[in-house]
Amino acid sequence: MKKIWAIFRKDMLIEFRTKDSLNSMLFFGVVVLVIFNFALGSLHDSLRSAAPGILWVAFAFSGTLGLNRVFAAEKENSCLQGLLMVPVDRGVIYLGKMLAATVFMLIAELVIFIFSLVFFNLTVWPEIPYLILVFAVGTLGFSAVGTLLSAVTVNTKMREVLLPLILFPVILPVLINAAEATNIILNSADYGQLKLPLTIMSVFTLVFGTISYLLFEYVLED
Amino acid sequence: MTRAPAAVPRLFMNMIEVRGLAKHFGRFSALRGLNLTVGAGEFVALFGRNGAGKTTFLRILAGLSRPSSGSFRIQPHGSGPARSAIGYLSHNTSLYLDLTALENLRFYAQLMGLPADTGILELKIGQVGLAGRERDPVRNYSRGMQQRLAIARAFLHNPSILLLDEPFTGLDQAGSSFLRGYLHSAHAQGKTCIMAIHDAQLGYELADRLVAIEKGVAALDVARPDVSFSEFQEALSHISAGGDTGRLPEAS
C-alpha cells in the first residue's frame, strides 16, 4: 500500500507543479460544454434531459486527454525504464497510476460539473450524494481500463489517436450506464433504479481492473 | 572469418550464465544466440557497433525485455529477472525533472522499501558530490550533475550486479572522472559489472574482460591481461570490418 501511495503522491506532486494534464483536461471539458450549450440553446426545456449525456461526453473526452499523459510523462528522460527496474510487483505500478488517473479525472469532473450547473441551469443540491457515487464508480471503471490501455499505447507513434480508438469501444458499457444513472438522478429521482447501472459499472470495474492488474506486467515489456 | 570466442579462464563463481540468447524485432535480429558467462565480481566491457545488440542484451538481463529464445540465469535468483540484485544505469537518467534530487531519491527508496529518511538520502546525495543541491529541481542540474544523481538512484539498493549502458555519454571530464572512480570502487567492493561502451580506451582501462558483440553474438571474448590495448583495438577494427579477431592470443 505504501508503494502504491508513493507512485500516487509522485504523480500528484508533478501534476500540481506542472499542471500539464489538468489544464488541458479542464479546458477541453469546458469547451465541450460550451459547444453543446450553443448547439442545444434553442431547446431550453430539453437541456436537463440532455445534460447526463453531455456531461459524460465531456468527462470521457477530458479523461482521455489525462490518460494519454499517465504514461507519456514517464517517457521523458526514460523514467518508465527506471520505474520498471524497481524490484516491485508491476501490478503496484498499475494501481498507483490508476489511482492518480482517477483523482485527476475526478478533479476535472468536479470543475466541469460546476460549469454545467451554470450552462444548463441545473439545481442539484439534494442529488449531490448520488451524483458523487455515480461519478466515482464510473470514473474508476474508466481509469481501470484506461490506465492499462495508456500503457499499451505509450510506445506507439500515434498514441493520442490510438488511445481513444481502442478505449471507447471497451469502455462503452461504463459510459452508457454512467449516463443512464446520471439521467435517473437528474430527471426521475427514482433512486431505486440506480441499482442496475451501478451494479453493471461495479462488475465491469472489478473484472477489467483485475484483468488489467494481471496483464500489466506484460504490456510494458518489449 | 570471425573466430569463435575462446573460453576465458575463470577465477570467479559464475554469477550470470547466458545460453543461446536471441531477440528479434520483426525481421531484425538484435541477438542471434549469444552465449556468455560472467563470474561474480568480474567487470566485463561490451563493445560493438551501434545495433550490434549490446543494449538489447543489457535490457534482457535487467528484465526490461523478454528474449525471443534462449535463456539466462542470474545466481542465486535463477532464470528470469532479478531486479533486486541489479542496478541499471544508462545515459538516460530516469530522473523526474520536476522533482528535486531529494524527492527523486525518496520516491525510489519508498518504492524499493528502503529507509527514506531525509538524513539518509542527503547522505546518498552527498556521496555523489551533490551536497547542498538536494532541494533543487533536477531540471536545473547540468548533464553531469544529473548523471551523478542517476548513479545514486540506480545503486540506491546496493545491488550486487551493475548493468551500465553507455554511462559516460555526454559527461564532461569531471563527470567522467567521477564515474570512473565510482566504478573502480564498486569493482573493488566485488560488484559484478557489465558495461556497454564505445570508448575502447576507457573500456579497456576499467574492465577485467573485453567482449565484442557483432551481429548478435560474442565475436571476441578475451581477458584484459592477455592482450595489449593496441592488439585489442586492432581486433575490434577487424571485427567491425566484418573480419576475424586478427592476431589476438586466444585465451585458454
Q: In this structure, which amino acid lies at residue B148?
A: R
Enumerate the residues of chain A whose CB falls inside 8 A of the CB of residue B154.
82, 85
Of B65, B88, B97, the CB nearest to A76: B97
Q: What pLDDT is stored for residue B250 in this prediction?
A: 46
Percentage, residues of chain A above pLDDT 90: 54
Averaged pLDDT of chain A? 89
Enumerate the residues of chain A whose CB falls inside 8 A of the CB of residue B159.
none
Separation CA B169–CA B171 (nearest Å): 6
Side-chain half-sphere of A196: how many Cα atoms within 13 Å?
Answer: 7
Q: What pLDDT is stored for residue A109 in this prediction?
A: 94
DSSP state of A78: G
Count the Cβ atoms, other than its own, within 10 Å of residue A202: 14
Looking at the complex, does the CB of residue B57 fall below 8 Å from at least one CB of chain A? no
Q: What pLDDT is stored for residue A187 in this prediction?
A: 85
Query: B27 CA to chain A: closest CA distance, Å?
Result: 15
Asked if A221 lies within 8 A of B65 by C-beta distance, the reply is: yes
In the predicted structure, residue B134 carries a pLDDT above the cut 90: no
DSSP letters for chain B: -PPPPPPPP--S-EEEEEEEEEEEETTEEEEEEEEEEEETT-EEEEE--TTSSHHHHHHHHTTSS--SEEEEEETTTEES--GGGEEEEESS----TTSBHHHHHHHHHHHHT----HHHHHHHHHHTT-TT-TTSBGGGS-HHHHHHHHHHHHTTT--SEEEEESTTTT--HHHHHHHHHHHHHHHHTT-EEEEE-S-HHHHHHH-SEEEEEETTEEEEEEEGGGS-HHHHHHHHHHHHTT---TTPPPP-
What are the CB-based long-range contacts (under 8 Å, 24+) for B63-68?
Answer: B63/A84, B63/A85, B64/A81, B64/A84, B64/A85, B64/A221, B64/A222, B64/B88, B65/A221, B65/A222, B65/B23, B66/A221, B66/A222, B67/B21, B67/B22, B67/B23, B67/B31, B68/B22, B68/B23, B68/B24
Averaged pLDDT of chain B? 84
Query: A29 CA to chain B: closest CA distance, Å?
Result: 26
Average pLDDT over residues B176-188: 90
In the predicted structure, residue A15 carries a pLDDT above the cut 80: yes
Residues of A with CB under 8 A from a CB of B: 2-3, 6-7, 9-10, 13-14, 17-18, 76-79, 81-88, 221-222
Encode pLDDT of A62-113 as tens digits: 999 999 888 888 888 889 888 988 888 888 999 999 999 999 999 999 999 9
Looking at the complex, does the CB of residue B103 fall below 8 Å from at least one CB of chain A? yes
Asked whether the beta carbons of B152 and B127 are under 8 A apart, the reply is yes
Looking at the complex, does the CB of residue B232 fall below 8 Å from at least one CB of chain A? no
Of B84, B98, B154, the CB nearest to A87: B84
Average pLDDT over residues B190-206: 91
Enumerate the residues of chain B whose CB falls inside 8 A of the CB of residue A3.
110-111, 113
Encode pLDDT of B24-77 as tens digits: 988 888 889 888 889 888 999 999 888 888 999 999 998 888 899 998 888 776
Asked if A6 lies within 8 A of B95 by C-beta distance, the reply is: no
Average pLDDT over residues A183-192: 85
Enumerate the residues of chain A whose CB falls inside 8 A of the CB of residue B95.
77, 79, 82
Query: B235 CA to chain A: closest CA distance, Å?
Result: 33
Asked if A87 lies within 8 A of B157 by C-beta distance, the reply is: yes
Confidence of residue B79 (pLDDT cuts 50, 70, 90): low
Mutation test of the interface with chain A: which of B98, B114, B161, choosing the one with the most A Cβ atoms within 10 A?
A: B98
Asked if A7 lies within 8 A of B111 by C-beta distance, the reply is: yes
Q: In this structure, which amino acid lies at residue B176?
A: S
Asked if A85 lies within 8 A of B64 by C-beta distance, the reply is: yes
| Nearest residue of chain B to residue A10 (CA atoms) | B107
Q: Please report where in the chains the cell 574492465 appears, as a residue.
A: B207
Does the domain at residues B14-240 carry the CATH identifier 3.40.50.300? yes
Question: Cα B229 from chain centroid?
Answer: 21
Encode pLDDT of B3-30 as tens digits: 444 444 445 588 888 899 899 988 888 8
Q: Grid coordinates representing A49?
A: 434531459
Q: Which of residues 162-221 of B touch A (CB under 8 A)?
A: none
Average pLDDT over residues B110-139: 88
Of B25, B94, B157, the CB nearest to A79: B94
Mutation test of the interface with chain A: which of B100, B105, B110, choosing the one with the most A Cβ atoms within 10 A?
A: B110
Encode pLDDT of B211-245 as tens digits: 988 888 888 888 888 888 888 888 888 887 776 65
Q: How many CB pairs (< 8 A) connect A and B?
A: 76
Percentage, residues of chain A above pLDDT 70: 99
Of A41-50, A199-208, B126-135, which gets the smallest average pLDDT? A41-50
Asked whether the beta carbons of B214 and B229 are under 8 A apart, the reply is no
